[in-house]
Structure 1
């Protein structure tokens, strides 16, 4: 199991503050210097934590203005999910997949966090298109 880095701990704490409504949607976070003082961390570490949250689309950085909490957008009902095949079954169509990309790449900050692995670990990157 990968060791949890300081920037991930900071990112988790910022998430908790967003969840607890301490940082509100559309509101600017404290500056990097303020966050650094709060967490006793370097600006580099704070930037890594913010980068992770920006990659996950939890925060938005506006150059010259600051870093803001983004609205959590859910475009589907998770309780009514169905497979691609189920969506086309009523039309008597057999869908198929075409693999466009299949490669081994280093994990990004957000993927490493989601998979609970180190950033230096390699992962499979698969991109495919499904069509009826």
Structure 2
């Protein structure tokens, strides 16, 4: 297990504890030393996990007083500041993925420049319908370069691809460039989302990179305009 995966796993565990109200009485996280003892991890792991939570807006520092838990004013919102998988955005809800297609094929000219690769490079093209509590939320089309993701099956794609990439493949994911814009649904998109062709939609395009700066995933996600809300943390310093 790599260090990166370990501190991200710790961040996920602490986030679950926050959602469960474990720190509601004090309103803040335990000290670094106490977190180290509680989870049996290094100071490096604790600091990086807390940094992940701070970046996602789950905690904030108060000088001399510790790391405080933010009140949840964004229930049901998707984070624009992170790409951590849909399952992590809706704790307590049932997140399902219906795989509409999964093909291993050359990237092609249209995506080669975006993925910074050759048109002949092989990639997994995945199209999934994402549902929350049985209702369609998003139609997702993603392209994963095979040289970074050597294997991807329909069974894996029905679950959390992000957990597979980080926990099973141990990929050291780094950052994502996001573009958010409004569009109108095509006939196929409308049918998948249970809407009408020409209805408005929210689109997020992600270019996702490893920590070493190599891009491995390009995606386009079309969201149901009545069900999708987005959240981002603004730094006012």
Aligned length: 96
**Deviations for 1:12-66, whole angstroms, at most 9, x for unmatched residues?**
2111211221111871211011101111111111011100011110111122210
Structure holding more strand per residue: 2
User: Which whole-Å CA distance do the structure 2 matches of 1:40 and 1:6 have between them?
Assistant: 12
- Give me the whole-angstrom Cα distance separating, in 2, the residues matched to 1:60 and 1:110: 16
Residue in structure 2 matched with residue 38 of structure 1 by the alignment = 38
| 8 Å Cα contact 1:25/1:69 also seen in 2 | no
- 1 CA distance for matches of 2:175 and 2:56? 19
CA 127–64 in structure 1, closer or farther in 2 if over 3 Å, else same: same
Q: How does 1:1-132 map to 2 (within 5 A)?
A: 5-24=5-24, 27-74=27-74, 110-111=82-83, 113-114=84-85, 116=162, 118-120=171-173, 123=176, 125-127=177-179
SS in 1 for 2:54: helix
Sort the Cα spacing of 1:8 and 1:128 in 2 relative to 1 into closer, same or farther, 3 A: closer
Quote the Cα distance in structure 2 between the aligned partners of 1:72 and 1:122.
Answer: 24
Higher relative contact order (CA 8 A, sep 6+): 1
After TM superposition, the score normalised by the length of structure 2 is 0.34
8 Å CA contact 2:56, 2:82 repeated in 1: yes
Question: What is the alpha-carbon root mean square deviation over aligned residues?
Answer: 3.3
TM-score norm. by structure 1 comes to 0.57
Question: Which blocks of at least 5 consecutive residues in structure 2 are unaligned?
Answer: 86-160, 166-170, 183-237
Secondary structure, in 3 states, of the residue corresponding to 1:5? Answer: helix
Structure 1 regions of 5+ residues with no counterpart?
Answer: 79-108
Conservation of the 8 A alpha-carbon contact between 1:61 and 1:67 = yes
Deviations for 1:53-112, whole angstroms, at most 9, x for unmatched residues?
11110111122210011011239x87xxxxxxxxxxxxxxxxxxxxxxxxxxxxxx943x
What is the rounded CA distance, in whole Å, between the counterparts of 1:65 and 1:54 in structure 2?
Answer: 15
